[in-house]
Amino acid sequence: MFHTTPLYYDCSYNKNTKRYGLYNATGNFFCILDTNFQRLKFVQLLLTKYQRLPIAQIDLFFNILDDIKKIAKTYSTHLPSSAHSEYLKKYNLKSSNNKYQKEINNNNCFLFGLEDPIIINESYVDVDIIADRQSNTIIKHKQIPDINKEIQEKIFLLQYILYHIDSSIEFHTVLAEQQKNFYQQATIEYRNFFKLCYPTDSKIEQIIKDELEFYNGIDSEIFNYRSTIMQLLNKLDYSESTKQIILNLLALLEDEFYPTYDAQPNSYRSIELSLFINSFKRKINELRIAYDN
């Protein structure tokens, strides 16, 4: 459905990962899948004023079947051969919908819904779906449900932006994290040395605490960067078109974000912070260009 847009990513079944789905309870279909629960939760909360989208676990009951069997096999000396079968039966864990869990991805997720009709009840506003077998049983629709494609696209847009923030931070802080860990470990061993040699000296502990806090500067910058972007995303009106949302975000960046950053003295800017900001600016401009074409 969206595989030709710059926002799309597949999120196919992988036995080594666990996926979550943002679920349209009214239409009984999935809007998007992701392997990162926090990212999906943030998308849900950003859109909560515009759409009711609980989160369901997609692969839990497929993966747990294999997990239980592996554990039973590992401890076969202490467990009866039928242990896993009895366990599965007790919790009504069946593998009847495995084919759907393997089949569903982001290009066809709107064809799939959930078996439990109580989820559709309006009292479930913004409540994530309880992880029991009945409420997580995936079904496949025979006919394509009535889909709000604009909401779908906005969900993909937010996922795309949040994914970029996470990946950019991870990429641009590899060296900084290694350096921080090295200096913190050196400082801790410095403290250990003085504790052993001068056990009655109380001043050294405060010096060490100040030193360790200094090396946590990169963590503070990452938090402030993410917090600022999230505040801007939370200000956007998601009832507007996807293109207008991108333009509004660019305007907020120009009016509220970049001026604050530019006003900071050079001594307070880290290389990493500059990389975050420049990378984010390029990515949002790329989206603007993509939606102009």
* Tens digit of pLDDT at every position of the chain (293 positions): 555 667 888 899 888 888 999 998 888 899 999 999 999 999 999 998 888 888 988 887 667 777 777 787 788 777 776 666 666 666 555 554 567 888 999 999 999 988 865 555 544 444 566 555 555 678 899 888 888 888 889 999 999 999 999 999 999 888 888 888 888 888 888 888 888 888 888 788 888 888 877 777 788 888 989 999 999 999 999 999 999 999 999 999 999 888 877 766 665 567 888 889 999 999 999 999 988 87
Q: Using alpha carbons only, how large is the chain's radius of gyration in Å? A: 24
Asked which of 93, 117, 147 is the last residue of a domain, the reply is 147
Do residue 77 and residue 168 come from a single domain?
no
Residue 123: per-residue pLDDT:
44
Exposed, middle or buried: residue 38 (CB in 10 Å: 0-12, 13-18, 19+)?
A: exposed
Helix, strand, or coil (residue 259): helix
Strand pairing class (112-114; 138-140): antiparallel
**Which residue has tokens 């799939």?**
112
CB atoms within 10 A of CB 96: 7
Please report whether residue 9 resides in a domain. Answer: no
Given a contact cutoff of 8 angstroms between Cβ atoms, the answer to whether 112 and 30 are in contact is: yes
Query: What is the C-alpha to C-alpha distance for residues 35 and 44, in angstroms, rounded to an integer?
Result: 14
Please report whether residue 2 resides in a domain. Answer: no
Q: Taking the CA of residue 36 as centre, how many other CA atoms within 13 Å lie in the half-sphere pointing to its CB?
A: 12
For residue 151, report the phi and psi dihedrals to the nearest 5 degrees.
Answer: -65, -40
Helix, strand, or coil (residue 188): helix
Query: What is the C-alpha to C-alpha distance for residues 184 and 190, in angstroms, rounded to an integer?
Result: 10
Asked which of 147, 181, 202 is the last residue of a domain, the reply is 147
Please report whether residue 143 resides in a domain. Answer: yes
As given in the structure block, the two tokens for residue 161 are: 């932006």
Q: In what order do the strands lie in the sheet with 55-57?
A: 29-34, 20-24, 55-57
Do residue 183 and residue 278 come from a single domain?
yes
Residue 112: per-residue pLDDT:
92
Query: Which positions ≥6 away from 242 have C-beta within 8 Å?
Result: 150, 153, 154, 157, 291
Q: How many domains does the chain have?
A: 2
Do residue 139 and residue 186 come from a single domain?
no
**Structural domain that includes position 36:** 20-147
Do residue 61 and residue 119 come from a single domain?
yes
CA dihedral of 149, 104, 60, 133, whole degrees rounded to 10: 80
Do residue 112 and residue 230 come from a single domain?
no
Q: What is the pTM of this model?
A: 0.81
Query: What is the C-alpha to C-alpha distance for residues 207 and 63, in angstroms, rounded to an integer?
Result: 49
Please report whether residue 206 resides in a domain. Answer: yes
Query: What is the C-alpha to C-alpha distance for residues 23 and 116, in angstroms, rounded to an integer?
Result: 13
Do residue 231 and residue 174 come from a single domain?
yes
Residue 122: per-residue pLDDT:
47
Do residue 164 and residue 276 come from a single domain?
yes
Asked which of 117, 147, 177 is the last residue of a domain, the reply is 147
Between the alpha carbon of residue 47 and those of residues 24, 54, 110, the distances in Å are 12, 11, 18
Alpha-helical regions (H) of 75-173: 83-90, 98-103, 149-172
Query: What is the C-alpha to C-alpha distance for residues 238 and 140, in angstroms, rounded to an integer?
Result: 29
CA dihedral of 8, 152, 158, 37, whole degrees rounded to 10: -90
Do residue 91 and residue 58 come from a single domain?
yes
Between the alpha carbon of residue 149 and those of residues 9, 82, 152, 252, 283, the distances in Å are 16, 48, 5, 25, 23
